[in-house]
């Protein structure tokens, strides 16, 4: 199966590319961060002028114009669809159910301090136990569910102070 990526340029233009598209690019590296690209018999001089690999954001100079490029793969899109996000865990104020299921276990209490990656609760969905981990350090402000509760996708589970 060919992996797809969603590419957004300057927050205005979005398109999808595949691994095959990437392999078929006629690009010749001219240095560590510059490339000569030939597309439809037109030459382009490109340079990666800035990058944040963890957030998959790049600034690319093409023929003296700079473009901000965001790249998302299938997992990034699924995480966003589930109401979660990567790279922004420090700003998360609440946790919502990523899928419908049953709360099997709650490992925290209101007022308790937690660290990033501490297990908070266990959600059973499709006969699998899914441990929901803390996305950040913080203090539990509220718990909106009880052990044994059935929850819907995107239902509020936990709030942080």
Quickly state the pLDDT bin for 84 (edges 50, 70, 90): low
pLDDT(143) > 80: yes
Residue 109 contacts by C-beta under 8 Å, 6 or more apart in sequence? 140, 143
Write out pLDDT tens, residues 23-53. 888 999 999 889 999 988 999 999 999 888 7
pLDDT(149) > 80: yes
pLDDT(89) > 60: no
> Structural domain tally of the chain?
2
Write out pLDDT tens, residues 17-30. 888 888 888 999 99
10 Å CB burial of residue 104 (0-12, 13-18, 19+) is middle
In a domain, residue 117? The reply is: yes
70, 107, 109, 101: which is closest to 86 by C-alpha?
A: 70
In a domain, residue 80? The reply is: no
Dihedral angle sign, alpha carbons of residues 9, 11, 12, 14? positive
Mean pLDDT of 52-59: 84
Q: For the CA atoms of 114, 117, 122, 126, what is the dihedral angle to 10 degrees? A: 160
Q: Are residues 61 and 91 in the same domain?
A: no
Q: Which two tokens stand for residue 129?
A: 């136990």
CA gap 125, 38 in Å, rounded: 49
In a domain, residue 9? The reply is: yes
How high is the mean pLDDT of the chain? 87
Which residue among 74, 108, 130 closes a domain?
74
Q: Are residues 67 and 130 in the same domain?
A: no
Q: Are residues 107 and 68 in the same domain?
A: no
Residue 69 lies in domain: 4-74
Q: Are residues 144 and 90 in the same domain?
A: yes
53 vs 95, residue with greater confidence? 95
CA gap 156, 145 in Å, rounded: 8
In a domain, residue 60? The reply is: yes
In a domain, residue 110? The reply is: yes
What is residue 81's predicted lDDT score, i.e. its pLDDT?
Answer: 66
CA gap 131, 112 in Å, rounded: 18
CATH of the domain at 114: 2.40.50.100
CA gap 154, 82 in Å, rounded: 7
Quickly state the pLDDT bin for 13 (edges 50, 70, 90): very high
Q: Are residues 34 and 70 in the same domain?
A: yes
Q: Are residues 89 and 47 in the same domain?
A: no
């Amino acid at each position: 199966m060919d992996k797809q990526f969603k590419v957004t340029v300057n927050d205005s233009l979005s398109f999808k590319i595949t691994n095959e598209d990437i392999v078929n690019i006629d690009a010749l590296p001219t240095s560590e961060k510059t490339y000569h690209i030939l597309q439809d018999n037109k030459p382009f001089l490109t340079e990666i002028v800035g990058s944040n690999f963890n957030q998959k954001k790049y600034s690319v100079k093409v023929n003296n114009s700079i473009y901000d490029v965001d790249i998302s793969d299938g997992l990034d899109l699924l995480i966003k669809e589930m109401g979660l996000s990567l790279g922004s865990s420090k700003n998360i104020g609440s946790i919502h159910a990523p899928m419908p299921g049953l709360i099997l276990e709650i490992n925290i209490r209101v007022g308790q301090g937690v660290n990033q990656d501490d297990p908070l609760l266990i959600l059973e969905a499709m006969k699998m136990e899914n441990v929901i981990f803390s996305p950040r350090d913080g203090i539990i402000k509220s718990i909106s569910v009880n052990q044994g509760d059935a929850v819907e996708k995107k239902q509020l589970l936990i709030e942080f102070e």
